[in-house]
Amino acid sequence: AQSVTQLGSHVSVSEGALVLLRCNYSSSVPPYLFWYVQYPNQGLQLLLKYTSAATLVKGINGFEAEFKKSETSFHLTKPSAHMSDAAEYFCAVSERNDKIIFGKGTRLHILP
Amino acid sequence: GAVVSQHPSRVICKSGTSVKIECRSLDFQATTMFWYRQFPKQSLMLMATSNEGSKATYEQGVEKDKFLINHASLTLSTLTVTSAHPEDSSFYICSAGLGGARSYGYTFGSGTRLTVV
């Protein structure tokens, strides 16, 4: 069965510092992988997705993620954190029937 | 781009009553919509897959008779929480897509905060 594991339920970085949110996946078939962002009391917004094309995926708001099959990872990065990046981030995987399964989420805190 | 509208955004109901939540795809037709439930500070749990013109497919452990899903048209799916109890209080989110996750990734509604008192 497909699943994702997000390492670290909370991550704090200083404004202007590198953001790294970790995600490892488990899938019996080549997966499609996603990162979503959620602001308080709102729905989810798709940041980026990997659909078996380029392994380095660029998304909105300066975020990018790299698919590494050997490490079963799909970590999310951003070179320079901004205060507006503070939110909940979810890694997700889709394997079959187009269902998307989410990780438990990582709360990103930005320190001034 | 694809927009999904969810209504209402917040609802408070008395225990034992039923509540209906609507999920609409505004500028596209969605043959499949998904319903998720999110507890405070937790992840989204897939409840069911809503299929236009046919019965919904529920995930294991989700009560079909309690969470009624109707997908009568290509732009509207509804989730009805029947005989609601305080433990049903949660954040419910729907999603829909043009061609499924593999083609587009799904667009999510803004969610409905249900409080049962």
> Residue A94 in contact with residue A39, Cβ under 8 Å?
no
Contact of B44 with chain A, judged by CB distance below 8 Å, is answered with yes
Contact of B110 with chain A, judged by CB distance below 8 Å, is answered with yes
pLDDT at position B73 is: 87
Chain B stretch 55-84, residues whose beta carbon is closer than 8 A to a beta carbon of chain A: none
Residues B32-88: pLDDT tens digits? 889 999 988 788 899 998 888 888 999 999 999 999 999 888 899 999 999 999 999
> Residue B111 in contact with residue B9, Cβ under 8 Å?
yes
pLDDT at position B99 is: 60
> Residue A76 in contact with residue A91, Cβ under 8 Å?
yes
Asked if residue B101 has pLDDT above 60, the reply is no
Distance CA A73, CA B86 (A): 38
Q: B56 to chain A: which residues are within 8 Å by CB?
A: none
- Looking up tokens 């587009």, which residue turns up? B104
Asked if residue A2 has pLDDT above 90, the reply is no
Distance CA A91, CA B20 (A): 29
Residues A17-76: pLDDT tens digits? 999 999 999 987 888 899 999 998 788 898 999 987 789 999 999 999 999 999 999 999
Q: B26 to chain A: which residues are within 8 Å by CB?
A: none
Record: contact A49-B109, CB cut-off 8 A = no
- Looking up tokens 């488990």, which residue turns up? A26
A interface test, pick of B9, B106, B113 with most A CB neighbours within 10 Å = B106
Average pLDDT, chain B: 89
Record: contact B108-A45, CB cut-off 8 A = yes
Q: A42 to chain B: which residues are within 8 Å by CB?
A: 110-111
pLDDT at position B100 is: 58
Q: A23 to chain B: which residues are within 8 Å by CB?
A: none
Query: What CA–CA distances, in Å, run from A17 to B39, B44, B116?
Result: 31, 29, 42
- Looking up tokens 């499609």, which residue turns up? A32
Asked if residue B93 has pLDDT above 90, the reply is yes
